[in-house]
A = this chain, B = another copy of it.
């Protein structure tokens, strides 16, 4: 099993704005993809992230610790490589910054698509901190492009 890891920090006095952006549909739509629906604020809820015209991801919320931790599991609609993997966000306040430790865990093989997803996650996490710091993120379809696979 292999993991994608990232760490970003948002200059903000408390973790709540980031936690809200991870646990509300409006928040998620403002940094990952505008086409987001479902239930993000309850364990057992399912969030549907879509990237027209290429599909997307369904995430079941499996753990929520207010202001500290969010975990999703990929279920249903998904590229085959993502099915059953988990996405973890751990938050903590460190002085003037809220630190986000990110892990997309459980990849079975280090396929080329995993390389791509690693780079894309970095750009979306930067969109998340930009959202919290400035009020405006860069969600799909207006996200940072990283090559021919978008």
Contact = CB atoms under 8 A, between A and B. Distances in A.
Contacts of A149: 7, 9
A54 interface: no
Contacts of A53: none
Nearest to A99: B147
A82 to B, nearest CB: 15
Interface string A95-135: 11101011100000010101110110011011001000000
Q: Is the interface of A mostly helix, strand, loop or mixed?
A: mixed
A108 B9 CA distance: 24
- Work out how many copies of this chain go into the complex: 2
Contacts of A94: 148
Nearest to A9: B147
25 contacts: A2-B3, A5-B110, A5-B115, A5-B118, A6-B118, A6-B119, A7-B112, A7-B115, A7-B118, A7-B146, A8-B119, A8-B146, A9-B146, A10-B147, A11-B148, A94-B148, A97-B147, A99-B147, A99-B148, A101-B115, A102-B115, A119-B125, A122-B123, A123-B126, A129-B147
Contacts of A147: 7-10, 97, 99, 129
A144 interface: yes
Given A97-B148, A122-B123, A125-B119, A110 B7 contact: no
Interface in A73-99: 94-97, 99
